C-alpha cells in the first residue's frame, strides 16, 4: 500500500506522478538533504537516524565509502580519504594549498586531480558521490524517484564553482532545478521571502568556515549586496581554544594520537555543554598524563575566545561597509551553522547589530530546509509564485563596429534582469542596423559565442551619429533572453528571443571563462586596434563625402595629395599595425586641414550670401 502525503489545494497528483523534490545543503564539512512532506520542510534522516552526513569520501581498496563510513577512515587511511572537497570545486591547483588536504593533489588542465589508490579522481566526481548518496537516501525515505533538487552554494561561489556543482549533480543523476545561495536558502526557511522587505545579515558559522552575507530583499527577490568571511574559521577553532585550556597545566607531552583525539572530543563536549550551562567541570584521568580537574565558566570561555568572536564581528563590519550600509539599515539577522548555538556568539552578534536574532530554526538544518521549500515550489507542488533567484553565468552584449563587444548585461546579474543601452548609426543615411547578440567575457566578437542576429529596418536617413537606437536585453527566470531594438525618433522596433544558457555546453562555459581571464591583455590590444581602425575608416568616409561636395575648393595637386594620403591609410587599415594606422591617420588629418578650413569659410559665406545686415540675427 502506497503512503500518501497531503498536497496543497488543487495540487493533488495522479498516481506515479508525484513531483518529489529535495533541497540539498552540500557543505564543506557536512551535507544534508530535506524535502517538503505534507506541506512541511523536513530533514531526511538516514538509517542511523542521523540527519547530518559528513561530506567525506573514502576511495578504499575494496570500494568507495561515503559519509559516516568514510569519516571513520579519516584516521585509518587519510591518504585515500577526501574531506572538504567543496574547497576544490571549480578551482585550479594554484588556487589552493595542497597541505590542507590529507590526500595527494595534483594539477590538471585547469582542474585538480586527486590521487588515490583507486586511481586519479577529480573533485566533481567526488562531490557527485556525496550527492548520489544523499539522493539514494532521499528516494528510500520518500518512497519514489525525485524529479529534481535545489542545491545550495555559498554566495561568493563564482561561475566555475557553480558550474562544477551542477556537473557533480548531473553525474549523480540529479536534475538541478536551481542552484541557490546558502544565505538565501536560510532566509527562505525563515519565510523572509513572504513577509518583509529590507536588508538582512546572514551569519553562518559552520564547522570550519565562516560566511557573512548581506542580502537585500525586495518584492520576493534576494539580491546579494556583499559577502565576507573566513574560509579557515569555524567551530573547530573554538574547540581548539578549549583544548588549550584543558591541557595548559599539563607538564607531560600528549603521548599518542588516541589520547589527543580523546582530549579533542572532551573539549568539544565542554564547548557544547556551555551552550546549556553556565559552567562545566572536568574530572578525567588520562593514561600517561594524569588527572585533569578544573572548571570552565561561560565568562572565561568568552574571554578566551574573544579573539575569534571579534574576528567574526569585524567581518560583519567589513561586509556592511562593502554594502554601503550601517547596522541601522538592518532589518534582521539570521543565524546559520551549528556553531551559532554558542551563547557567546549570539550575545556578541546581538550586541553589535542591536536587535534580537532569528535563531529558532535548527542552525544546522536551516539551509537545507530553505532549499527544500524552494525545490517544492519549483517542482510545482504549491500555489506560490516562483521565486526568482538565479544569476546569468556569462555576460551578454552586442557587436559594435570593429567587431568589438559592447556588454549590456554583466555576468552574475540576478534574474530576471532587463538592461538597455543607446546606440547610433555609423554612416550617413544608414537605414538599417544589424543587432548581433553575443555571450562571453572577451572583448572581440570572434572570441565570444554568437547567440543570434536580427535587423532593425526603417531607420529614417540621418547623418551618422544622429539616430538614437535603444537596445534592451531582458532575461527571464528561466534564462530566456529577449532582445529589443527601438529607434527612438520613429518608435519602430524589432526583436528576437534566444536561450543563452542552453545554447552553451557546460564545458564550453568553463573554457570561455578561463580564456577571458588568461586573455585579458591580448583583448585589450585587440580592442585598441579595432577602435583605431573604426576611427580611420570613419575619417576616410567623411573626407570622401566632403570631396564629392566641395572638390572645387581645391586645386588638382591638393586633391591628388589627399587621395594619396587616403590610399596610404586604406592600405594601413588592411593590416594590423596599430602604430602605422595611427601615423597615417595623423598624416591624412594634416593633409586635409586646409581643405577643412576652406570648407568652413565657404559654408559661412554661403550662409551670408544674399542677406543684408538687417536680416542677420546676432
Partner 1 sequence: MAITLTKKAAERVEKYLESRGKGVGLKLAVKTTGCSGMAYVLEFSDEIPAEDQVFESHGIKIMVDPKSLIYIDGTELDFAKEGLNEGFQFNNPNVKDSCGCGESFTV
The nearest distance, CB 437 to partner 1, in angstroms, is 44
Measure CA 474 to chain center. Answer: 19
Q: Smaller CB distance to partner 1: residue 266 or 377?
A: 377
125 catalytic residue (yes or no) = no
Long-range pairs of 273-280 with CB within 8 A, sequence gap ≥ 24: 274/298, 274/301, 274/342, 274/343, 274/344, 275/341, 275/342, 275/343
25 catalytic residue (yes or no) = yes
Q: Smaller CB distance to partner 1: residue 6 or 287?
A: 6
**Stretch in the footprint of partner 1 (CB under 8 A) among 45-53, 87-95, 196-204, 430-438:** 45-53
Which is the catalytic residue, given 77, 182, 243, 441? 182
The nearest distance, CB 5 to partner 1, in angstroms, is 5
For the segment 79-138, give every residue that binds partner 1 (CB under 8 A). 137
Coil, strand, or helix at residue 485?
strand
Position among 106, 143, 380, 460 found at the interface with partner 1 (CB under 8 A):
143
Neighbours of 104 (CB within 10 A): 13
Which residue's C-alpha cell is 584521568? 285
The nearest distance, CB 4 to partner 1, in angstroms, is 5
> End-to-end alpha-carbon separation of the chain, Å?
97
User: Which residues partner with 101 through β-bridges?
Assistant: none
The H or E element that residue 422 is part of is: strand 417-423
The nearest distance, CB 65 to partner 1, in angstroms, is 20
443 catalytic residue (yes or no) = no
Which is the catalytic residue, given 193, 204, 239, 243? 204
Neighbours of 122 (CB within 10 A): 19
Distance, in Å, from the CA atom of 474 to the CA atom of 485, rounded to the nearest integer, reads 12
Give the number of residues in contact with partner 1, rule: CB under 8 A: 28
The nearest distance, CB 280 to partner 1, in angstroms, is 35
Nearest to 170 by CA among 204, 137, 212, 127: 127
As given in the structure block, the three cell numbers for residue 280 are 562545566
Which residue's C-alpha cell is 556569462? 394
Q: Smaller CB distance to partner 1: residue 41 or 581?
A: 41
Per CB under 8 A, 195 contacts partner 1 = no
Distance, in Å, from the CA atom of 373 to the CA atom of 427, rounded to the nearest integer, reads 55
Q: Smaller CB distance to partner 1: residue 38 or 295?
A: 38
How is 545-574 classified by DSSP, letter by letter? HHHHHHGGGS-HHHHHHHHHHHHHHHHHHH
Distance, in Å, from the CA atom of 591 to the CA atom of 564, rounded to the nearest integer, reads 10
Q: Smaller CB distance to partner 1: residue 32 or 274?
A: 32
Which is the catalytic residue, given 46, 71, 77, 86? 86
The nearest distance, CB 54 to partner 1, in angstroms, is 19
Per CB under 8 A, 1 contacts partner 1 = yes
Q: Smaller CB distance to partner 1: residue 12 or 461?
A: 12
User: Which residues partner with 179 through β-bridges?
Assistant: 151
86 catalytic residue (yes or no) = yes
Position among 75, 79, 140, 275 found at the interface with partner 1 (CB under 8 A):
140
Per CB under 8 A, 142 contacts partner 1 = yes
For the segment 3-42, give every residue that binds partner 1 (CB under 8 A). 3-12, 14-16, 37-40
Distance, in Å, from the CA atom of 471 to the CA atom of 397, rounded to the nearest integer, reads 10
Residues tagged active-site? 25, 86, 182, 204
* Positions in the binding site for partner 1 (CB under 8 A): 1-12, 14-16, 37-40, 44-47, 137, 140-143
Amino acid at each position: 500500500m502506497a503512503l500518501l502525503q497531503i498536497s496543497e489545494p488543487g495540487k493533488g497528483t495522479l498516481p506515479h506522478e508525484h513531483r518529489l523534490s529535495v533541497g540539498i545543503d552540500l557543505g564543506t564539512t557536512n551535507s544534508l538533504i530535506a524535502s517538503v512532506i505534507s506541506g512541511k520542510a523536513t530533514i531526511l534522516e538516514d538509517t542511523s537516524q542521523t540527519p547530518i552526513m559528513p561530506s567525506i569520501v573514502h576511495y578504499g581498496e575494496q570500494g568507495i565509502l561515503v559519509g559516516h563510513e568514510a569519516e571513520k577512515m579519516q584516521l585509518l587511511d587519510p591518504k585515500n580519504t577526501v574531506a572538504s572537497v567543496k574547497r576544490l570545486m571549480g578551482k585550479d591547483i594554484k588556487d589552493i594549498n595542497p597541505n590542507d588536504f590529507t590526500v595527494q593533489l595534483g594539477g590538471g588542465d585547469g582542474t585538480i586531480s586527486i590521487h588515490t589508490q583507486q586511481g586519479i579522481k577529480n573533485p566533481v566526481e567526488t562531490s557527485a558521490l556525496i550527492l548520489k548518496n544523499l539522493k539514494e537516501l532521499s528516494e528510500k525515505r520518500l518512497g519514489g524517484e525525485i524529479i529534481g533538487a535545489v542545491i545550495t552554494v555559498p554566495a561568493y561561489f563564482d561561475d566555475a564553482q557553480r558550474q562544477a556543482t551542477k556537473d557533480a549533480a548531473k553525474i549523480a543523476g540529479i536534475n538541478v532545478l536551481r542552484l541557490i545561495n546558502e544565505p538565501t536558502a536560510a532566509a527562505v526557511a525563515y519565510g523572509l521571502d513572504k513577509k518583509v522587505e529590507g536588508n538582512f545579515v546572514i551569519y553562518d558559522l559552520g564547522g570550519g568556515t565562516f560566511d557573512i552575507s548581506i542580502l537585500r530583499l525586495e518584492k520576493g527577490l534576494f539580491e546579494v549586496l556583499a559577502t565576507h568571511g573566513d574560509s579557515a574559521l569555524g567551530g573547530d577553532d573554538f574547540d581548539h581554544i578549549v583544548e588549550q585550556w584543558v591541557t595548559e597545566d599539563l607538564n607531560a607531552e600528549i603521548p599518542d594520537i588516541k589520547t589527543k583525539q580523546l582530549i579533542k572530543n572532551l573539549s568539544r563536549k565542554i564547548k557544547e555543554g556551555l551552550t546549556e550551562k553556565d559552567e562545566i567541570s572536568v574530572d578525567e584521568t588520562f593514561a600517561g598524563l594524569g588527572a585533569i580537574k578544573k572548571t570552565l565558566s561561560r565568562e572565561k570561555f568568552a574571554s578566551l575566545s574573544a579573539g575569534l568572536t571579534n574576528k567574526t564581528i569585524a567581518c560583519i563590519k567589513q561586509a556592511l561597509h562593502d554594502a554601503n550600509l550601517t547596522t541601522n539599515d538592518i532589518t534582521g539577522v539570521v543565524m546559520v551553522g551549528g556553531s551559532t548555538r554558542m551563547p557567546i556568539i549570539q550575545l556578541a552578534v546581538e550586541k553589535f547589530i542591536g536587535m534580537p536574532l532569528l535563531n529558532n530554526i535548527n542552525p544546522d538544518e536551516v539551509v537545507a530546509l530553505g532549499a527544500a521549500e524552494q525545490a517544492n515550489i519549483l517542482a510545482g507542488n504549491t500555489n506560490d509564485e516562483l521565486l526568482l533567484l538565479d544569476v546569468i553565468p556569462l555576460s551578454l552584449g552586442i557587436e559594435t563596429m570593429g567587431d568589438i563587444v559592447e556588454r549590456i548585461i554583466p555576468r552574475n546579474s540576478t534574474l530576471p534582469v532587463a538592461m538597455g543601452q543607446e546606440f547610433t548609426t555609423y554612416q550617413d543615411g544608414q537605414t538599417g542596423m544589424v543587432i548581433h547578440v553575443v555571450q562571453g567575457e572577451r572583448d572581440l566578437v570572434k572570441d565570444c559565442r554568437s547567440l543570434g542576429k536580427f535587423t532593425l529596418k526603417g531607420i529614417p536617413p540621418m547623418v551618422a551619429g544622429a539616430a538614437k537606437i535603444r537596445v534592451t536585453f531582458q532575461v527571464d527566470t528561466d534564462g530566456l533572453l529577449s532582445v529589443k531594438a527601438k529607434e527612438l525618433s520613429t518608435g519602430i522596433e524589432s526583436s528576437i528571443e534566444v536561450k543563452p544558457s542552453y545554447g552553451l555546453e557546460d564545458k564550453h562555459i568553463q573554457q570561455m571563462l578561463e580564456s577571458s581571464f588568461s586573455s585579458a591583455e591580448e583583448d585589450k590590444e585587440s580592442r585598441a586596434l579595432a577602435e583605431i581602425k573604426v576611427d580611420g575608416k570613419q575619417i576616410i568616409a567623411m573626407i570622401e563625402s566632403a570631396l564629392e561636395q566641395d572638390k572645387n575648393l581645391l586645386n588638382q595637386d591638393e586633391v591628388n595629395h589627399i587621395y594619396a594620403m587616403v590610399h596610404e591609410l586604406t592600405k594601413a587599415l588592411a593590416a594590423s599595425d596599430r602604430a602605422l594606422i595611427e601615423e597615417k591617420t595623423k598624416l591624412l588629418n594634416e593633409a586635409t586641414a586646409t581643405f577643412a578650413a576652406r570648407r568652413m569659410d565657404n559654408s559661412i559665406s554661403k550662409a551670408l550670401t544674399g542677406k543684408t545686415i538687417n536680416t542677420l540675427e546676432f
